[in-house]
Amino acid sequence: MRIFLIGLALLSLFGCSGKDLQELGLAPLTEVEVTQALKDALSYGIARSAANASKIDGYFANPRLKIGLPKDAEKLEKTLRKLGFGTQIDRSILQMNRAAEQAAARAKPVFIKAITAMTIDDAFDILNGENNAATDYLIDNSSDELYDQFRPIVVEALDETSATRYYSDIVKRYNALPLVFDVDPDLADYVTEKAVDGLFLLMAQEEARIRTISSARSSRLMKRVFGSLD
């Protein structure tokens, strides 16, 4: 609104044309500009997020993304570490994160499909929404397909890195102990969900950067559209 009023004032006082105002970045935002800027911002954020997540230690070295043992295995971990199986547990955790990193490399096409389906109404709702509005849009429109795409990759990566075997071994050791509740040794669903969650977390961070930091806006259009919120 502020930019719109300034544009009208300049137009009346100095005889500037609509084209002149647009070149100055003072003309009212169009539907096309907002939609394209949101798509550009999401594409940029996705590329950075996928690249960071899929590199070696993308999950493992990031405290906010690192995948540990499942919650129902916390007691298992404490017990087996006390019994001297810490190395096996650490190896299993490392390979779970390696599986997530491999899966993250395949995320971009799924996200791009969701971006392509964005409507004008979606774009304006996102632009005027919270700092994670675009990420929420992706969660609503891509998380199920992302999970379906990730799971076979995770299963294959878990097998290739021997994470399934390592985890199964330590679970069997734990389940063999007297007076304990059995722990489910299946890792695929757990690691897939954590891998997907980690990507959305990175995406939310990228979105917040674009919304709040001018230098993070990688194109003139993104600067113009997101700058209207400053």
pTM here is 0.78
- Tell me the three-class secondary structure of the chain, residue by residue: CHHHHHHHHHHHHHCCCHHHHHHHCCCCCCHHHHHHHHHHHHHHHHHHHHHHHHCCCCCCCCCCCCCCCCHHHHHHHHHHHHCCCHHHHHHHHHHHHHHHHHHHCCCHHHHHHHHHCCCHHHHHHHHCCCCCHHHHHHHHHHHHHHHHHHHHHHHHHHHHCCHHHHHHHHHHHHHCCCCCCCCCCCCHHHHHHHHHHHHHHHHHHHHHHHHHCHHHCCCHHHHHHHHCCC
Instruction: Please say whether the dihedral angle defined by the alpha carbons of residues 213, 218, 220 and 225, taken in this order, is positive or negative.
Output: negative
Report pLDDT for 189: 85
What residue segments make up the domains of the chain, in order of their start? 32-222
Q: Tell me how far apart the alpha carbons of residues 112 and 42 are, in angstroms, rounded to a whole number.
A: 9
* pLDDT tens-place string over residues 136-175: 998 999 899 889 988 888 888 888 767 777 777 777 776 7
Report pLDDT for 1: 44
Higher pLDDT, 165 or 54: 54
From residue 192, give the alpha-carbon distance in Å to each of 15, 90, 122, 134: 59, 19, 28, 22
Q: Is residue 3 predicted with pLDDT exceeding 60?
A: no
Q: Is residue 16 predicted with pLDDT exceeding 80?
A: no
Pair 27, 21: CB distance under 8 Å: yes
* pLDDT tens-place string over residues 68-124: 988 777 777 787 788 787 887 888 889 889 989 988 988 888 888 888 888 989 888
Percent of the chain with pLDDT over 90: 22
> Residue 183 — very low, low, confident or very high, per pLDDT cuts 50/70/90?
low
